[in-house]
Homo-oligomer: A and B are copies of this chain.
Amino acid sequence: MIIKKVVELLESDQVLQEYKVNGWVRAFRSNRFIALNDGSCLENLQCVVDFKNTDDQVLRKVTTGAAISVSGTLKESEGKGQSVELEVKSINILGEAHPEEVKKTILQPKKHSFEKLREQAHLRVRTNTFGAIMRVRSKLSFAVHQYFNDNGFFYVNTPIVTGSDAEGAGEMFKVTNLDLKDPPKTKDGEIDYSQDFFGKETNLTVSGQLEAETYAMGLGKVYTFGPTFRAENSNTTRHLAEFWMIEPEVAFCDLKGNIDLAEDFIQQVLKYITEHCKSDLEFLENRLLEEEKSKPEKDRSPMPLREKIDFVLKNNFKRVSYTEAIDILRNSKPNKKKKFSYIIKEWGADLQSEHERYLVEKHFECPVVIYDYPADIKAFYMRLNDDGKTVRAMDVLFPGIGEIAGGSQREERYDVLLSKMREIGIDEKELWWYLDTRKFGTCVHSGFGLGFERLVLFATGMSNIRDVIPYPRSPQNAEF
């Protein structure tokens, strides 16, 4: 007998053929209709049981959560909601799920809070919502790789364990093999890292950018897509201690080219999921509409999910300089009426989340790219403009998400980079290899980092970043 996935049968027009399907019971009603799901798609296969001719012992084990194997004939469905159904000839119980045990879990078919689902993160992927999220996440990942591969980029795996703590993007986790109870010490009483596994102090990477730059100087166009880490005690719905980041880096590319790339990239990967995740996105859209019913109207999303995605992929991102943005904010109502927690007084102020959201959600009502930030509030490796006070940085801001990507044209001038490093106290001996890229055939180059989970948040309409990664890592939480 031919074994098929549910998604294959639902898309099939090979009715009257015999098939076998394996999956998990989502529901069994009237002792007749099994809703069978195998994860291949959101939809269940309706399996119609001839209960008179089926062993009662077997039927009793067809309960929510059980794994079963069903054989039968594919037929056009008379019921609503599906085009085909399986007329069951035999049922094989593979793995039971005792109703009393199921009741204690989120497999029990009723509404569970996201908190509860997180506590059972190993089971939540069996719900419609998390199945949909994780399929969208997977398809988005593939779209990322396909976009870069199609556009002449090479994938680079930059190191996760890094001996450098100069990446400057945030607090780092230590990686060690030493006995913490009795670590070896030097004569001066310091930890003797020469006895550690790597012979030096090592951390988890916060960004692969610096290493990616060295590779862009050889391969031209590269990108990373891997886990990065922040040991920051921020218990928010927007931050994870472990998250996946996408970092393209392009030689011979200036800031404008970098913004163009970010815009095109984001639009193309979102386009991919609108084409490949139709029913999952529809489900997530309806879930969000349902959830927002209980909210006051002003807090609801201005557009349904799919319309919002469409809007982003069909409209240009608004590009404004930091200086223009500051002017808009200074003259904005919430600033004048002191509604912002941080009042914008003068040029040079760092933008807070509330300001970014105002620009994106109230003022422009579309994704916004802010560029040419004050040098003082940005990283050491960003290209200094001729004005001597701004750098060729850019942030991509998204409605409901805030900063989704940040990048810059890099400082390609050896002397300028070196003096900047000295100014802020980065040991040039530690980054000798990074400086070398400016010594041998340096060139204008640019890149950005995009937090993958924030993109998934946007694409799924979820509101907590812990719900778009299988096993979230955050302060006080490394379960599973």
Contact = CB atoms under 8 A, between A and B. Distances in A.
B159 A219 contact: no
A444 interface: yes
A97 B480 contact: no
Nearest to A38: B220
Contacts of A200: 478
A233 to B, nearest CB: 8
Interface stretch (A191-199, A261-269, A328-336, A358-366): A191-199
B433 A122 contact: yes
Given A95-B412, A470-B215, A478-B200, A227 B183 contact: no
A57 interface: no
A177 B231 contact: yes
A218 B215 CA distance: 38
A411 to B, nearest CB: 13
A200 to B, nearest CB: 6
A35 interface: no
Contacts of A442: 67, 94-95
A13 interface: no
Interface string A101-121: 110010100000000000011
Nearest to A174: B176
Interface string A154-177: 111111111110000000011111
Interface in A58-75: 65-67, 69
B226 A478 contact: no
A33 interface: no
18 contacts: A22-B252, A22-B443, A39-B219, A94-B443, A95-B412, A105-B436, A122-B437, A123-B218, A131-B218, A141-B145, A142-B149, A157-B469, A159-B473, A161-B473, A163-B478, A174-B176, A433-B479, A433-B480
- Closest 6 pairs (CB-CB, A-B): A125-B218, A95-B442, A39-B219, A67-B441, A39-B220, A198-B478
A121 B217 CA distance: 12
A400 interface: no
B95 A441 contact: yes
Contact of A198 (B157, B159, B191, B477): B477
Interface string A229-241: 1010100000001
Contacts of A198: 241, 473, 475-478
Contacts of A443: 22, 67, 94-95
A158 B471 contact: yes
A138 interface: yes
A417 interface: no
A241 B441 contact: no
Counting chain A residues whose Cβ lies within 8 A of the other chain, the interface size class is 35 or more
A155 B180 contact: no
A146 B202 CA distance: 34
B211 A134 contact: no
A302 interface: no
Contact of A134 (B7, B65, B156, B202): B156
B173 A156 contact: no
Interface in A407-460: 412, 433-434, 436-444
A309 interface: no
A368 interface: no
Contact of A97 (B121, B131, B157, B441): B441
B197 A475 contact: yes
Contacts of A219: 39-40, 125, 131, 134-135
Given A163-B480, A215-B470, A155 B138 contact: yes
A148 to B, nearest CB: 8
Given A97-B440, A220-B5, A173 B175 contact: yes
A190 interface: yes
A126 B442 CA distance: 13
Nearest to A227: B160
Contacts of A178: 174, 180
Given A180-B191, A441-B25, A476-B198, A39 B218 contact: yes
Contact of A173 (B97, B164, B197): B197
Nearest to A224: B470
A211 B96 contact: no
A27 to B, nearest CB: 13
A441 B66 contact: yes
A209 interface: no
Given A38-B252, A135-B154, 11 more contacts: A23-B220, A40-B220, A101-B439, A101-B440, A137-B157, A159-B473, A162-B478, A177-B231, A178-B180, A180-B183, A433-B480
